[in-house]
């Protein structure tokens, strides 16, 4: 039976202003809470990374992201089921987490900046130093016999040298070096033997970086 001509094909639902305002308030509360969760978890992730738990910091972010709706609901806030709203909530969390993670890992809160080694030098006279030639990337040609060397550490933020060790690439030989760290240079003496390739490791720390991190360069004799 055909519908009467005066019957509309689509009946627009009545607009519930009270329900709309309530849902928008809930959405705003949810976004604020998600921002707070992202900030706190970003700071915690930064701290975990400084302690050497990089994987755990990433897993923490993923776990919170997966259970984000349940976490927000736990605080008594109704979470919208619309896909677009869920995407926005996830984006707010990820961006907030990333921003506060970056803030925590950079000055003035913390220093995460590894030093770099410039060209090692050998002392050719009492007041003269000569750059060692590089046989390949980060591998330098040392001189056979006992000589004084120095390495310049370039860095953006202050670092401390805690140890200086060496070992041969063939294994079996290793030891610690006596060194002096002055004006960004590490001074040390080493006796090189023919046909040896030695790996030197300078251990350094900076603000909130623990344990010491190795910085490596090689010399071929």
Query: Other CB atoms closer than 10 Å to residue 145's CB: what's the count?
Result: 11
Residue 50 CB-half CA count within 13 A: 23
What's the pLDDT tens digit per position in 46-57? 888 877 777 888
Confidence of residue 213 (pLDDT cuts 50, 70, 90): confident
* Cis check: omega of the bond before 58, within 30 degrees of 0: no
Give the up-direction half-sphere exposure of residue 101: CA atoms within 13 A in the CB hemisphere.
19
Using the predicted structure, report yes or no on whether residue 1 has a pLDDT greater than 70.
Answer: no
Helix/strand/coil for 80: coil
The model's pLDDT over 61-112, given as tens digits with 9 standing for 90+, comes to 999 999 998 998 888 888 777 888 889 899 999 999 999 998 888 777 776 6
Q: According to the per-residue pLDDT averaged within each range, which of 17-31, 157-171, 177-191 is highest?
A: 177-191
Give, to the nearest 10 degrees, the angle between helix 83-104 and helix 17-50. 30
Q: How far apart are CA 164 and CA 133, in angstroms?
A: 22
34 versus 110: the higher-pLDDT residue is 34
Which carries the bigger pLDDT value, residue 50 or residue 175?
175
């Amino acid at each position: 039976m055909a519908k009467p001509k005066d019957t509309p094909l689509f009946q627009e639902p009545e607009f519930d202003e009270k329900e709309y305002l309530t849902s928008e308030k809930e959405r705003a509360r949810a976004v604020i809470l998600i921002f707070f969760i992202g900030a706190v978890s970003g700071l915690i992730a930064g701290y975990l990374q400084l302690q050497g738990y990089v994987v755990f910091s990433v897993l923490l972010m993923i776990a919170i992201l997966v259970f984000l709706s349940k976490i927000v609901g736990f605080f008594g806030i109704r979470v919208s089921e619309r896909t677009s709203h869920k995407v926005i909530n996830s984006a707010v969390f990820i961006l907030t987490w990333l921003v506060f993670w970056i803030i925590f890992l950079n000055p003035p809160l913390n220093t995460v900046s590894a030093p770099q080694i410039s060209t090692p030098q050998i002392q050719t006279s009492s007041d003269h130093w000569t750059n060692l030639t590089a046989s390949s990337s980060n591998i330098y040609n040392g001189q056979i016999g006992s000589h004084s060397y120095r390495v310049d550490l370039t860095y953006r933020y202050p670092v401390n040298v805690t140890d200086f060790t060496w070992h041969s690439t063939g294994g079996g030989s290793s030891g610690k070096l006596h060194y002096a760290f002055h004006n960004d240079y590490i001074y040390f003496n080493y006796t090189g033997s023919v046909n040896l390739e030695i790996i030197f490791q300078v251990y350094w720390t900076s603000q909130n970086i623990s344990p010491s991190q190795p910085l490596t360069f090689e010399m071929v004799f």
